[in-house]
Structure 1
Amino acid sequence: MSGRALLMWDEAVTKYDFGAGHPMDPVRLALTMGLVRAYGLDRAVDVVAGKPAGESTLRLVHREDYVAAVRSASANPRDADQAYGLGTMDDPAFAGMHEVSATIAGQSVGAAEAVWRGEAPHAVNFAGGLHHAMPGSASGFCIYNDASLAIARLLELGAERVAYVDVDVHHGDGVQAAFWDDPRVLTISLHEHPRMLFPGTGWPEETGGPGAGEGSAVNVALPAGTGDEGWLRAFHAVVPELLADFRPQVLVTQHGADTHFEDPLAHLAVSLDAQRLVQEACHSLAHEYVDGGRWVALGGGGYAVVDVVPRSWTHLVGIAAHAPVDPESVIPSSWRDEVYARTRQLGPGRMTDGRTPAWRPWEDGYDPADRLDQAVLATRRAVFPLRGLLA
């Protein structure tokens, strides 16, 4: 193992473009890589372009008829079959859709392979984290579910325990569905309450398939308006104890930046500074509970494409590289010039929102009148006893 993290990057991923006006603007990927370079982080990691996922790899999760439908829509977007979720408002078909989606999937699969084989302790694919795609349909801006494919590849290589932690504001429904009955995979999702937000799933009572799958799915449904203190309290009240019990051989995490208070598609109020603390926590948990610290970190949602996403995921790359970016640092003017040239917007000036997040540990006591505490307790009561843990 070289000791250097991998950053999976191929300029082709910026072709994942649903068209003008769609929230999933690929400029967020270009600007993130630009900020990574501006801070010199591309010299602190090994930058690698993985191979696009081939048919046999895609079939680890996705149905043959669905892959064929994506290929067809990619060649003839006007003929996209909406029965497969293609050609819809959320997932418009576009030329080359299959190729770029397979490229993104291949980056995450390549990251998982490298970490499993000991070629690197950590790997980041911030273009990935497309967690809504189902085995037989596109959903929520996601064509191929690269997170599920990475996990399935790890299982194929012999992994017996893989943990998936998803802190996107939306429920990680596609990954949960892919491994609903599989006790080898523990899926944990912290997200805005399904009453308030797409995809309408992720209730605490969703705990895995009957029999062997029971207790393999964990969902924390956060009240709208949850800010730094509550978000961090919920994370630390659930995730570390479960990972300590499960002892995964690989930790896969999804870091959608759409929990941020500036994000236009959701209703949480989390700062960049709290996002960075959760990234640091995932890194620490990998070193504490995973052999060799094997950690695959993915991007995900995030629609404040200038002010939030590039800063959040640049922090993620720095943390994985063991070269964290100083939150108080002034962002290089070269990157702000790039922002203006690409978007005609002014970029942020520092790598912080100016917050110093703190949270009250769960062990300090439960407040029955607090909606956040009610949500955490609902999750613990639903799933912890199934795993032999105290709620």
Structure 2
Amino acid sequence: MTCTAKYIFSEDLLHYHFHKDHPFDQKRVLLTTELLQYAGLLNDSDIVPPRKATDEEIKLFHDHAYVEAVKRASKQSLPEQEAVEFGLGTEDTPIFPDMHHASAFLVGGTLTAVDEVLSGRAKHVSNLGGGLHHGFKRKASGFCIYNDGAIAIRYIREKYNLRVLYVDTDAHHGDGVQWAFYDDPNVCTFSIHETGRYLFPGTGNVNERGIKKGHGYSFNLPVDAFTEDESFLCVFTTALKEIAAFFKPDIIVSQNGADAHCYDPLSHLCCTMTIYETIPQLTHQLAHQYCNGKWIALGGGGYDMWRVAPRAWAQVWNVMHLGLPASGPLPEKWISKWKEKSPVALPTHWEDDPSIVPYIPRKEEISEKNDISLRQLLKYTTLNTPADK
């Protein structure tokens, strides 16, 4: 299935940069874009530049005082004590010059994606520079200053009045977006992530279900450390199909973190490129089934920026644009350009060799734990479990 799709990109998305040793590096977006271009899978006509979000748009979710604090921090004029209150100047989210300007372009990229889809100019749009899902209403957290996903969903609700399904496949719980809509029955959030017993932010339990009118519209599927492809995809596919059937969304916003891979240095999951071929295909299918194709895909985590993030994110675009992931060798031009700058040997193919996954002696036990989490998730909804069907 070939669909009308657009790809948000300009160098404005690359200026969100804490410092050279920080694990969050937007060079991932450039590597992804060039991988697609050199493979002949992305043309100039597919690319839409991001706009800069206005303060009013950012304040659809974030407090005025917080936005003003970020602006002052951008000019090195925010006192340290005040900065800490807003989650700024920490090891995770340090202050850098012009951080408001850079962050506003990430938000604007996601809002550009929303307008491209909801104006009818495209069925699917990716903004792989976005997906900063840990940002809170008045506090930065986990590398995230402004939460572009939460802002975009508020924008969709206020401007277009559509019911939104938010799907988060980052290894870390999508806490900022979940809490933003925890009492809203028109926004359904689903996050599959490594259990918070071992990983930041420590939340995302199955029993986090929403409050007030939003009770029953928050779904979490924590998977055990060292989860591999087969178990991840089994529970993810079942859960997402059931949740989509329950909620019947008007539009899907997905956050496509690439940090569940076994190479990622910040998580403990053991997946391969197989899941990054399958995740967007399922999201694509459900977008057409329930939303007339309306799908916005964001980036997110992914801290092996050389071997994993470019391939994983490129597959999101490949599925959006062509309906299928790419396979076979990577373009030699891309490998040649970046191999001297990469501290690790670059991959040569879209797929992974299965031998990269270490031997996990607890594989059966891990799968059983994940199945229990899935059953608990389904029990907490009005849905039937697979056994009842």
Q: Aligned equivalents of 1:227 and 1:156: distance in 2?
A: 39
Rounded Cα–Cα distance in structure 2 between residues aligned with 1:188 and 1:200: 16
2:327 aligned with 1:333, yes or no? no
Provide the C-alpha distance between the structure 2 equivalents of 1:325 and 1:231, rounded to a whole number of angstroms: 18
Check 1:247–1:264 CA distance in 2 against 1; reply closer, same or farther (3 A cut).
same
- Residues 166, 255 of structure 1: 8 Å contact kept: yes
Distance 2:187 2:170 in 1: 19
Q: Structure 1, residues 326-364: CA drift from partner, whole Å, max 9, x if none?
A: 32x2111111122125435432100001359xxxxxxxx
1:341 to 1:213, Cα distance in 2 relative to 1, 3 A: same
My pick for the range that moved more, 302-311 or 347-356, is 347-356
Q: Which residue of 1 aligns with 2:361?
A: none
The structural deviation recorded for 1:158 is 2.5
Q: Report what 1:96 is aligned to.
A: 98
SS at match of 1:349: coil
Please report how far the alpha carbon of residue 57 of structure 1 lies from its aligned counterpart in structure 2 after TM superposition: 0.3
What secondary structure does 1:293 align onto?
coil
Which residue is equivalent to 2:372?
374
Partner of 2:360: none
Q: Aligned ranges for residues 278-289 of structure 1 at < 5 Å? A: 278-289=279-290
Instruction: Answer whether contact 1:339 1:346 (CA < 8 A) is retained.
Output: no
| Equivalent position amino acid for 1:223 in 2 | D
**Letter aligned with residue 156 of structure 1:** E
Distance, in Å, in 2 between the alignment partners of 1:270 and 1:45 is: 34
In structure 2, relative to structure 1, the CA distance for the partners of 1:45 and 1:247 (3 Å cut) is farther
Percent of residue pairs bearing the same amino acid type: 37
Taking the aligned partners of 1:308 and 1:58, their CA distance within structure 2 comes to 30
In the alignment, residue 176 of structure 1 is paired with which amino acid?
A: Q
Q: Secondary structure at the match of 1:186?
A: strand
CA distance in 2, matches of 1:241, 1:259: 22
1:109 CA displacement: 1.0
CA distance in 1, matches of 2:384, 2:367: 21
Q: Structure 2 length as normaliser, TM-score? A: 0.92
Instruction: Give the match for residue 17 of structure 1.
Output: 17
How many equivalent pairs are there?
373
Task: Note the C-alpha offset of 1:245.
Answer: 2.1
3-state SS of the aligned residue for 1:41? coil
SS in 1 for 2:326: coil
1:232-269: CA deviation from partner (whole Å, max 9, x where unpaired): 01111211111122111110111100000110000111
Aligned to 1:352: 351
Residue 170 of structure 2 corresponds to: 168
Deviations 1:195-251 (A, max 9, x none): 1110011011100113x1101100001111111011001111211111122111110
Residues 244-259 of structure 1 mapped to structure 2, 5 A cutoff: 244-259=245-260
State the SS of the aligned residue for 2:322.
Answer: coil
Once the two structures are superposed, what CA deviation does each residue of 1:267-312 show, in whole Å capped at 9, x if it has no partner? 111111122111111111111121x210001111000110000011
Deviates further, 345-354 or 188-197: 345-354
The alignment status of 1:270 with 2:271, answered yes or no, reads yes
Partner residue, 1:134: 136
Secondary structure of 2:189's counterpart equals: strand
Measure the CA separation in 2 of the matches of 1:369 and 1:48. Answer: 41
Gap change, CA 1:200 and 1:369, over 3 Å in 2: closer
Partner in structure 2 of residue 360 of structure 1? none
Distance 1:45 1:315 in 2: 19
- Residues 140 and 29 (structure 1 numbering): CA distance in 2 closer, same or farther, change over 3 Å? same
Q: Deviations over 1:106-133 (max 9, x none)?
A: 0011101221221110000111110000
* Residue equivalent to 1:115: 117
Q: Partner residue of 1:149? A: 151
| Gap runs ≥5 in structure 2 | 356-364
Are the counterparts in 2 of residues 171 and 201 from structure 1 also a CA contact under 8 Å?
yes
Give the alignment of 1:1-391 within 5 angstroms.
3-43=3-43, 46-76=46-76, 79=79, 81-210=83-212, 212-290=213-291, 292-322=292-322, 324-327=324-327, 329-343=328-342, 345-355=344-354, 370-382=368-380, 384=381, 388-391=382-385
Letter of the structure 1 residue corresponding to residue 19 of structure 2: G
8 Å Cα contact 1:44/1:321 also seen in 2: no
Q: TM-score, normalised by structure 1?
A: 0.91
CA distance in 2, matches of 1:282, 1:214: 24
The amino acid that maps onto 1:110 is T
Query: Which is further off, 309-318 or 152-161?
Result: 152-161
CA RMSD of aligned residues (A): 1.9
What is the SS of the residue equivalent to 1:343?
Answer: coil
CA distance in 1, matches of 2:232, 2:161: 30
**Paired residues of 2:3 and 2:322 also in contact (CA < 8 A):** no
User: Shift of the alpha carbon at 1:78?
Assistant: 7.1
Which letter does structure 1 place at the counterpart of 2:375?
L
Q: Please give the alpha-carbon distance, in whole angstroms, between the structure 2 residues aligned to 1:152 and 1:45.
A: 29
Kept in 1, the 8 Å contact 2:224–2:366? The answer is no
CA, structure 1 residues 344+213, in 2 after alignment: closer, same or farther (shift >3 Å)? closer
